[in-house]
Structures are given as C-alpha cells and as structure tokens.
Amino acid sequence: MSATLLEVENVHGYYGKSHILQGVTLEVREGEVVTLLGRNGAGKTSTVKSISGLLAPRTGRVRFAGTEISGWQPHQIAQLGLALVPENRGIFGLLSVEENLRIAARKRSPWSIKDVYTIFPRLEERRRNGGGQLSGGEQQMLAIARALVNAPKLLMLDEPVEGLAPVIVEEIVAQLKQIRATGIPILLIEQNLAVCTELADRHYILELGRVVYNGTHDEFAADEITKDRYLGVNAH
C-alpha cells in the first residue's frame, strides 16, 4: 500500500457558534483519487477549507507530507503543495488566460504552461482572451491548469463539473483522467456519481459534518443501500 500523504484526524470546525465539522477523519495516499460525497450542507466544502487553512480547525489535526499544518495560514499550506481549486474557480477576469497561468506558474512545477495546454487545448486557443470571457467549463479548465503550474503535490477540486453541460463534463472528466495518469493524488468533492465512478479509487461520505462511510470504489459501486441512505440516489 502506498504512503499516506494527507491525514485529517478528528477535525472539528466552527463558523461562529455553529459546530459544522464534528470530528472528520480521512486520508489520501500517494497516487489515489478519493471523493468526498454527501448531500448539500453535509460539510464537504468546509472539510477542504479546513485542510487548506481557510477554516482553521478548532481541534483535531491535519498532516500533509509528514508535516502538521493545523493552524497554518492558507498561503503557507499552498506553498507546501496543497492546491485547492474552489467552487467559484477564482479566475482573474481582467487578465488573459496566459496571464492567469503565468502568475501562478512556479519554475519547480513539473507542469509547464505548454504541458497544461496539451491537456487543455481550448485554453491554448483562448490564451489571449480575458478570463472573464471564458465559458464556465473553460474557466474550470483554467482553474485546474493554474493549480497544476503551481507545483501541486495534492489537488483538491470542489465540484469541478457542477452546472456544466454534459459534453463539457465529459471533456473535463477525460482531462482529469490524463492528470490522474501522471500519479498526482486528487481529493474530489463531487455530487455527480457517474463522474466519481469513472475517476475514483475510494470514497468517503459525509453527513452532518462526520464521515459516515469509507469504502473502495468496488465496495461503493455494489452498495445500493449506502448510496440510497446517504446520497438519496437510485444509482441504477
């Protein structure tokens, strides 16, 4: 079994007095694609925020590549190689596609701007266009590409295909498969089970700020009861 890269241990998180994360424990190992599933409001986004320092855990621990990062600032965590592609994508609308990439690019990244253009040819076609002129799908591609040129050791994606047309979803899934094939581990928040099925090695389900299920892809695929109970889907 490969080494553990990210360990989240019994993390409790609050927004003011609201106790949102109630003891989240999960891990991501080298080379794995892991999904974080659960209904709206289950705490998925809050979990990745607590990992990336945007919601400091009140108690519990987050360890990344052997270093305890609980309580670190978001930019320090990002520098360690933990990349979050947030739901709102965070593109600079007034900068061109290429400028968005250049700002994020680091020399030590194994991914050059040319490399990401190979995965996302649409971005190369639109390299001189402003970020604000891109379609939702293209903005998502740019957000992922920007994370890659920033030398990530782990990629966290918050609902990358939400609200996108099926043909674009297919395109992004194919691109994520290419990225997965390079061995970079991915923690994926996703509501679209078909997407999860195509990409993931393992799944966690959150409910009310706790992990209520942890299983391999094959276990999960065969477990209609779990899918129905926690996700409310009839996944046939």
Ligand X SMILES: Nc1ncnc2c1ncn2[C@@H]1O[C@H](COP(=O)(O)OP(=O)(O)OP(=O)(O)O)[C@@H](O)[C@H]1O
> Can you tell me the distance from the alpha carbon of 117 to that of 167, in angstroms, rounded to the nearest whole number?
19
Instruction: State the nearest-atom distance from the C-beta of 230 to ligand X, in Å.
Output: 12
Contact yes or no for 111/83 (Cβ under 8 A): no
Instruction: State the nearest-atom distance from the C-beta of 163 to ligand X, in Å.
Output: 12
Stretch of 37-45, 98-106, 139-147, 173-181 lying at the interface with ligand X (CB under 6 A) = 37-45
Residue list 5-34, contact with ligand X (CB under 6 A): 15, 18, 20
Tokens 């680091």 appear where? 106
> Can you tell me the distance from the alpha carbon of 57 to that of 51, in angstroms, rounded to the nearest whole number?
8
Instruction: State the nearest-atom distance from the C-beta of 13 to ligand X, in Å.
Output: 9
Among 2, 10, 41, 229, binds ligand X (CB under 6 A): 41
Residue 160 is a binding residue for ligand X (CB under 6 A)? no
Residue 11 tokens, joined: 């993390």
> Can you tell me the distance from the alpha carbon of 83 to that of 154, in angstroms, rounded to the nearest whole number?
6
Residue 88 is a binding residue for ligand X (CB under 6 A)? no
Start-to-end CA distance of the chain, whole Å, equals: 31
Residue 234 is a binding residue for ligand X (CB under 6 A)? no
Residue 230 tokens, joined: 């926690």
Which residues sit at the interface with ligand X, rule CB under 6 A?
15, 18, 20, 38, 40-46
